[in-house]
């Protein structure tokens, strides 16, 4: 079976991680966990982009050598994956030897295929974007993403013949509806393509930039940072070194990216791959930007969210839930503590927390904590909605489907009034209601597994099973009704999500 290969962008090692980086990691993690649940082999890669002008300048500002500087930042990005419970299988750094070796082979293949040439060039370069700009990209002479005036560059560089891939790229976009998702982001790329691709400069003179991978055979130039960084997706799996290993992994199934780097992934990268004789990736999934309290995060406004503090103060599981539920993957979304508090108290503490508490407490009270004999109920439609949404990366809709089941079960309790049934001589009616609740909670444990893995484990244990036991089956089996074994014991524990009177007040 082909390995399902998922990647995040590799983040610039030019500053500490922020919530945007944590967000992409989380979305990729949810997808990786979901596919593992389905029984697929998964390879999930993230890492850091450590060369280029931006990193060189930042290192200079701190008075450190670039290598010392990036070592520290890469360590922070690794720490982020631990603290956020991100299950990446590998972490690639572009300063590693394995990456540099692959990049040299990659360059050579593209060169040998005749797609790299040398020419004199002048242009406007935005260091923030690490890319050349044309006058029409600028507003009042500035790059809109970085609010900065680009620098004028004049030098002899190596060029990649991107224009040669006009037709193959058009064919790629024509062949797969879903090559770039969502549709509006795909359309944007088609429009750029339709306006005609121009060759791009892929090296810099070492007079200007020293911090990069030297161009093979020409020490007076280093590689353009994007031509170096994009290759990470194949250097991590051994391209040019242990290529046998690659054959069950490449092409990548999903490259997760933020919208500002879509064109590098949807146009430049497939062209580079075709030039090197490799297949393009299957899907570029482009997500929106997170704003904080309705504003773009910026140091000047002071609304940059630190992903380490956030998790320490609010709890990882609730933060993972909130981001997946509240920020529609394909659109921009806002992080606000007021919304966080609402979601926490309503969805987690009241609806899910109470459901579990009621089910376990009544099992304790009426049937001596023992999971009763099986009884029938229908959760198949919830599974269908959940799976369709997860496969489309609509995690908010998937959670909406999950919460429909949660609410339905709370209503079921209110309608069935098990507290009345429990007082009857015949325990069959109350037992039936309790089995339905406990078994449904096992299903909820499965559905929540990719998003809230710890909560999912706690649900399993509370209803008398465990993660280890559930992990022996795949999602399709788990989704069948009746998996919970009668006779095991439920476990009442601490509340799943203790209600917070005011998260806002407790933080201030
Ligand atoms: O672009 N909301 O690195 P980078 C959501 N090194 N996601 C956000 C975000 C926000 N406000 N801000 C950042 C680079 N991101 C290159 C990539 S890949 C070969 C090279 C996320 O450190 C989002 O995934 O600027 C975005 O694309 C990425 O961080 C940019 O990270």
Half-sphere exposure of 348 (CA within 13 A, CB side): 27
Within 217-323, strands assigned E span 218-223, 254-258, 284-287, 290-292, 295-296
Indicate if 21 belongs to the active site. yes
| Residue 308 Rama label (left phi>0; alpha psi -120 to 50; beta) | alpha
CA distance 155 to 209: 12
pLDDT band for position 503 (cuts 50, 70, 90) = very low
Residues 275-290: tens digit of each pLDDT: 999 999 999 999 999 9
* Nearest protein CA to atom 27 of ligand 1, as residue: 258
CA distance 264 to 182: 16
* Nearest protein CA to atom 14 of ligand 1, as residue: 11
Indicate if 296 belongs to the active site. yes
Active-site option among 21, 35, 99, 287:
21
Res 245: pLDDT: 80
Please give the distance of CA 65 from its chain centroid, rounded to a whole number: 31
All residues at 6 or more sequence positions from 307 whose CB lies less than 8 Å from its CB, including other chains: 17, 18, 19, 21, 22, 80, 83, 84
CA distance 210 to 204: 9
Active-site option among 51, 126, 185, 265:
126
Average pLDDT over residues 158-175: 97
What percentage of the chain exceeds 70 in pLDDT? 98
**Ligand 1 test: best mutation among 130, 258, 299, most atoms within 8 Å of CB?**
258
* Nearest protein CA to atom 30 of ligand 1, as residue: 11
CA distance 206 to 134: 23
Instruction: For the domain covering 337-507, report its CATH number.
Output: 1.10.730.10
State both tokens at 178. Answer: 């879903």
Res 502: pLDDT: 56
Within 313-463, strands assigned E span 333-335
All residues at 6 or more sequence positions from 252 whose CB lies less than 8 Å from its CB, including other chains: 5, 6, 7, 233, 281, 282
| Residue 182 Rama label (left phi>0; alpha psi -120 to 50; beta) | beta
Length of the chain equals: 508
- Report helix, strand and coil shares of the chain as percent, to nearest 5: 50, 15, 35
Half-sphere exposure of 416 (CA within 13 A, CB side): 21
Look at residue 433 and tell me whether its pLDDT is greater than 70: yes
Residues 75-106: tens digit of each pLDDT: 999 999 999 999 999 999 999 999 999 999 99
CA–centroid distance, residue 180 to ligand 1 (Å): 17
Q: Report which ligand 1 atom has the smallest distance to the Cα of 259.
A: 27
**Ligand 1 test: best mutation among 6, 17, 21, 296, most atoms within 8 Å of CB?**
21
Active-site option among 2, 118, 119, 146:
146
Look at residue 153 and tell me whether its pLDDT is greater than 90: no
Indicate if 245 belongs to the active site. no
CA–centroid distance, residue 227 to ligand 1 (Å): 17
Res 107: pLDDT: 98
Q: Report which ligand 1 atom has the smallest distance to the Cα of 232.
A: 19
Backbone phi, psi, residue 462, to 5°: -60, -35
Look at residue 155 and tell me whether its pLDDT is greater than 60: yes
CA–centroid distance, residue 260 to ligand 1 (Å): 8
Is 501 buried (19+), middle (13-18) or exposed (0-12) by CB count in 10 A? exposed
Indicate if 299 belongs to the active site. yes
Active-site option among 35, 58, 99, 143:
143
Indicate if 126 belongs to the active site. yes
**Which residue in the block uniquely carries the two structure tokens 């991978």?**
213
CA distance 323 to 232: 27
CA distance 462 to 469: 13
CA–centroid distance, residue 257 to ligand 1 (Å): 7
Residues 381-428: tens digit of each pLDDT: 999 999 999 999 999 999 999 999 999 999 999 999 999 999 999 999
Active-site option among 296, 411, 420, 485:
296
**Which residue in the block uniquely carries the two structure tokens 């839930």?**
321
Q: Report which ligand 1 atom has the smallest distance to the Cα of 229.
A: 19
* Nearest protein CA to atom 10 of ligand 1, as residue: 20
* Nearest protein CA to atom 26 of ligand 1, as residue: 258
Residues 65-81: tens digit of each pLDDT: 999 999 999 999 999 99
Res 354: pLDDT: 96
CA distance 226 to 204: 12
* Nearest protein CA to atom 24 of ligand 1, as residue: 258
What does pLDDT average to over the chain?
A: 95
Indicate if 18 belongs to the active site. yes
**CB 281 within 8 Å of CB 252:** yes
Res 130: pLDDT: 86
Res 508: pLDDT: 41
The CATH 1.10.730.10 portion of the chain extends over 337-507
* Nearest protein CA to atom 4 of ligand 1, as residue: 11
Look at residue 332 and tell me whether its pLDDT is greater than 60: yes
Within 194-332, strands assigned E span 200-201, 203-205, 214-215, 218-223, 254-258, 284-287, 290-292, 295-296
* Nearest protein CA to atom 31 of ligand 1, as residue: 11
**CB 37 within 8 Å of CB 443:** no
Residues 447-497: tens digit of each pLDDT: 999 999 999 999 999 999 999 999 999 999 999 999 999 999 999 999 999
**Ligand 1 test: best mutation among 7, 8, 11, most atoms within 8 Å of CB?**
11
Q: Report which ligand 1 atom has the smallest distance to the Cα of 14.
A: 22
Average pLDDT over residues 110-135: 91
CATH architecture of 4-288: 3-Layer(aba) Sandwich (3.40)
State both tokens at 76. Answer: 């922070």
Ligand 1, residues at Cβ distance < 6 Å:
9-12, 20-21, 23-24, 49, 229-230, 232, 257-258, 260-261, 289-290, 297
The CATH 3.40.50.620 portion of the chain extends over 4-288
CA distance 137 to 155: 21
3-state SS, residue 52: coil
Active-site option among 136, 167, 299, 472:
299
């Amino acid at each position: 079976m082909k390995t399902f290969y998922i990647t995040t962008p590799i983040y610039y090692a030019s500053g500490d991680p922020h919530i945007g980086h944590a967000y992409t990691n989380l979305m990729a993690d949810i997808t990786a966990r979901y596919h593992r649940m389905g029984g697929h082999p998964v390879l999930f890669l993230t890492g850091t982009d450590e060369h280029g002008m931006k990193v060189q300048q930042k290192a200079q500002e701190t008075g450190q050598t670039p290598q010392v500087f990036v070592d520290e930042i890469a360590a922070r990005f690794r720490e982020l994956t631990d603290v956020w419970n991100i299950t990446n299988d590998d972490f690639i750094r572009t300063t590693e030897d394995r990456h540099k070796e692959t990049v040299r082979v990659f360059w050579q293949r593209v060169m040998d295929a005749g797609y790299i040439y040398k020419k004199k060039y002048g242009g406007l370069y935005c260091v923030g974007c690490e890319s050349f700009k044309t006058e029409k990209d600028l507003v009042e002479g500035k790059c809109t993403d970085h609010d900065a005036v680009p620098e004028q560059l004049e030098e002899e560089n190596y060029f990649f013949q991107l224009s040669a891939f006009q037709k193959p790229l058009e064919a790629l976009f024509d062949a797969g509806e879903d090559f770039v998702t969502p549709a509006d982001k795909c359309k944007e790329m088609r429009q750029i393509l339709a306006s005609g691709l121009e060759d791009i400069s892929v090296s810099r003179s070492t007079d200007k930039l020293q911090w990069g991978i030297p161009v093979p055979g020409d020490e007076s130039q280093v590689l353009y940072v994007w031509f170096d960084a994009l290759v990470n997706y194949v250097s991590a799996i051994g391209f040019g070194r242990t290529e046998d290993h690659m054959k069950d992994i490449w092409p990548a199934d999903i490259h997760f990216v933020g919208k500002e780097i879509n064109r590098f992934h949807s146009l430049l990268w497939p062209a580079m791959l075709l030039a090197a004789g490799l297949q393009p990736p299957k899907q570029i999934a482009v997500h929106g930007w997170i704003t904080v309290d309705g504003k773009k995060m910026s140091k000047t406004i002071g609304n940059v969210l630190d992903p380490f503090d956030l998790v320490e103060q609010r709890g990882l599981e609730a933060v993972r839930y909130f981001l997946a539920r509240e920020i529609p993957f394909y659109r921009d979304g806002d992080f606000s503590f007021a919304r966080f508090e609402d979601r926490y108290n309503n969805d987690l503490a009241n609806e899910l927390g109470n459901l579990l508490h009621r089910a376990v407490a009544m099992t304790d009270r009426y049937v001596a904590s023992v999971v009763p004999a099986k009884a029938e109920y229908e959760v198949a439609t919830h599974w269908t909605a959940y799976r369709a949404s997860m496969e489309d990366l609509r995690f908010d809709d998937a959670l909406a489907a999950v919460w429909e089941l949660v609410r339905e079960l709370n209503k079921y309790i209110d309608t069935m009034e098990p507290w009345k049934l429990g007082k009857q001589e015949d325990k069959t009616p109350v037992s039936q209601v309790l089995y339905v609740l406990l078994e449904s909670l096992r299903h909820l444990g499965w559905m929540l597994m990719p998003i809230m893995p710890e909560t999912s484990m706690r649900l399993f244990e509370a209803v008398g099973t465990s993660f280890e036991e559930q992990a022996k089956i795949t999602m399709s089996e788990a989704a069948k009704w009746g998996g919970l074994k009668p006779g095991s014991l439920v476990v009442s524990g601490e509340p799943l999500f203790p209600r917070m009177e005011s998260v806002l007040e407790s933080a201030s």
